[in-house]
Amino acid sequence: MSTGLLQRWDKWVPFNHADPNGPMYYKGLYHLFYQYNPHGVCFGDKMIWAHSVSYDLIDWFNLEPALRPSEPFDINSCWSGSATILPGNKPVILYTGIDSNNQQVQNLAIPKNLSDPLLIEWVKYSKNPLMTPPDGVKVDEFRDPTTAWKGLDGKWRVIIGSLNKVILYQSEDFLHWTKSQEPLYSSGETGMWECPDFYPVSVNGTNGVDTSVQNPSVRHVMKAGFNSHDYYMLGTYVPEADIFLPYINFTGTSLDLRYDYGKFYASKTFFDNVKNRRILWGWVNESDSAKDDLEKGWSGLQSIPRQIWLDRTGKQLVQWPVEEINGLHNNLVSIHDFQLENGSAFEISGITAAQADVEIVFELPELEEAEFMISSQVDPQEICTNGDASVSGRFGPFGLLTLATKDLAEQTAIFFRVFKGHEGYVVLMCNDQSRSSMKKETDRTAYGSFVGIDPRQEKISLRSLIDHSIIESFAGEGRTCITTRVYPKFAVNEEAHLYAFNNGTQDVKISSLNAWSMNRAQINSWGSLK
C-alpha cells in the first residue's frame, strides 16, 4: 500500500491518518508521530506510529515509521502515547501496546542514536511492559499515556486514561512505575478517558511553559476525549496531594469547554522551548462514508498546528494558527469600513477561494435591536440546527459563505447571531453544512457554540482557513473554534467562490477584511533529507 502523503497546504495525509502522537522539538526539527494503518483506509488492527519532521511546522518530510507491532507487548498494535524530554535532552516515548492477550499495556521506546536529529530508529525497552492494567481496571480500558512531568520531589509522573478517571503513576527512573492510591482526577459518568492531556498554562501572558512547571503563576489544563470530542477543564494542581482540582467539573452538557466544536479529536500538545509556546494538534476525521474513503484511498488528517494559551479572563483557553502559516500567504485583498446590508452577499474576489486564509471583523450598531434569547434554548448546537444560514433574525446570520458555487447551491456557511441575554448580550457562532455538498451520504451536522465576548466592548472577529475540503474557523480571536470536513461536488478549485453575507434584518459593518490566497506546503520523502 502506498504511504505517500496527500500534498495540501496545511495538512499531511497518509493512507489512514489518526491520532497525533508524541509531538516534540529536537535538535532543530519538529517531530510529529501519528496513528497510521498500513493495511487499510480506516482505523484497524496492527496500527503503527508513522513519523514526519519539519523545520517550520509547515513543510514536512515523511520518514520511515517509528514503531510497528513486533513484540509480545505490542504485537496487535502500537496505539497512542506521548513523548517526554528527559534531562540531557533525551527524548523517550511512552505508548500503549495491544499485547498478545489483547491487553492494553504501557511501553517505553528510546532513540537508537541520540546524535541523529531525525530520530529515525527507535528501540523498544527489553523489559516492556512498564505498566499493566491494575486491579479493578478492565484490560481494554487502560491507554494513552500523557507526557510525563517531574514533581518537586524529583519523581516523574504520568497519567493513563481509564473509565471515569485518569490513573496516576510515579517513577524515580522512568523505568519502574508505581500506581498512586488515588487517581489524579475522577468524575462520575464521564466514560472512557481517551487521549488525556495534562499541562500548565501561564496566567501572565501567551507564552507556554514546560510541562513540569509548578508554581503560583500557572493554572493547569485537564483534557480528555469523550464521544469523539475533546473536552477540557481549568483548575489547580496540588502536587503535595497529587490531585487536580477543577474550577468547574465536567457536567455532560453544552456548558463543558471544548477545544473545537466541530471535527477535532484525540488531540495532543507539547511545549516548544524554541519559541516558548504550547502547540496543539488534533485529528480531523472524515464526514463522508467508508465507501467514499475507499474511493479516495485515504481517510483522516491533522489540523494545522495551533498555539494555545489562557484567555485573559482565566475562564477558557485561546487557540490561534501558528505564526508560520502566514508564510504561505499570497495575493492579499483588503476591505475596510464596508456596509453589509441586510439580505446581501458580497463576493471576495482576487484570491483563490478554494485555498485561502480570511480574517474578517464585524461591527454592530444599535445592539438594543437584538432579539431576546429564549431561556429554554441553552444548547448552541440546537439553536444552530434549528436556525441555519437562511433563517433570518435581526443581528444575524452574518459571516462567510465558503466553498460556494456562483449560484450558492453549494456553500458552507460560518456565521454569527447576536442575542440579548439575561445578563448582557450573547454571541453565537454556527457552522451550517446543510448545503455543503451535492454528494449524498455526507454528514450535515450543524456545529455551534457561544463566543465569550461582549459585543458592546469588542468587535466580532472570524478567521477561517479554507483548504479544498476542510475549514478551520476561529472566532473571537481564537476563543471559539469550529473545524469542519466538507466535500463540495461543484465548488472546487477555480469554481469555488467566497462571500461575506448578511441575512439579518439589521445592517452590519465590516470594519476590516483581509484575505489571502495560500501557497501549497511542501511534502517530501525522508530521502530528500539525506
pLDDT tens track for 312-342:
999 999 999 999 999 999 999 999 999 999 9
pLDDT, residue 16, reads 63
Residue 5 banded pLDDT, cuts 50, 70, 90:
very low
What would the mean pLDDT of 414-430 be, rounded to a whole number? 93
Q: Which CATH class is domain 6-321?
A: mainly beta
What is the identity of the amino acid at 123?
A: V
Average pLDDT value for the chain: 92
pLDDT, residue 13, reads 41
In the chain, the percentage of residues whose pLDDT exceeds 70 is 95
Instruction: Return d(Cα 231, Cα 512) in angstroms, integer.
Output: 32
> Which residue spans of the chain are classified as CATH 2.60.120.560?
324-518
What would the mean pLDDT of 271-296 be, rounded to a whole number? 89
- The DSSP line for 259-284 is S-SSS-EEEEEEEETTTTEEEEEEEE
Residue 157 banded pLDDT, cuts 50, 70, 90:
very high
Instruction: Return d(Cα 178, Cα 348) in angstroms, integer.
Output: 59
Helix, strand, coil % in the chain, rounded to nearest 5: 5, 45, 45
Are 151 and 159 in contact by the 8 Å Cβ rule? The answer is no
DSSP letter at 374 equals: P
Which residues are tagged catalytic? 19
Q: What is the pTM of this model?
A: 0.94
Q: Name the residue with higher pLDDT: 206 or 2.
A: 206
Does the pLDDT value for residue 402 go beyond 70?
yes
Give per-residue pLDDT as tens, 38-94. 887 777 789 999 999 999 999 999 999 999 999 999 999 999 999 999 999 999 999
Residue 429 banded pLDDT, cuts 50, 70, 90:
very high
Does the pLDDT value for residue 377 go beyond 70?
no
> Which residue spans of the chain are classified as CATH 2.115.10.20?
6-321
Q: Are strands 156-162 and 149-150 parallel, antiparallel or unpaired?
A: antiparallel
The grid coordinates listed for 175 are 523505568
Instruction: Return d(Cα 252, Cα 131) in angstroms, integer.
Output: 30
Ranges of beta strands (E only) in 11-89 are 12-13, 17-26, 29-36, 48-54, 60-62, 77-86
What would the mean pLDDT of 188-207 be, rounded to a whole number? 95
What would the mean pLDDT of 390-413 be, rounded to a whole number? 96
Residue 8 banded pLDDT, cuts 50, 70, 90:
very low
Does the pLDDT value for residue 189 go beyond 90?
no
Q: Name the residue with higher pLDDT: 12 or 155.
A: 155
What are the phi and psi torsion angles at 384 (to 5°)? -65, -35
With helix as H, strand as E and coil as C, how does 423-464 read? CEEEEEEEEECCCCCCCCCCCCCCEEEEECCCCCCCCEEEEE
Are 287 and 486 in contact by the 8 Å Cβ rule? The answer is yes
Q: In the CATH scheme, what is the code of domain 324-518?
A: 2.60.120.560
Q: Which of 161, 48, 54 lies closest to 104 in space, CA to CA?
A: 161
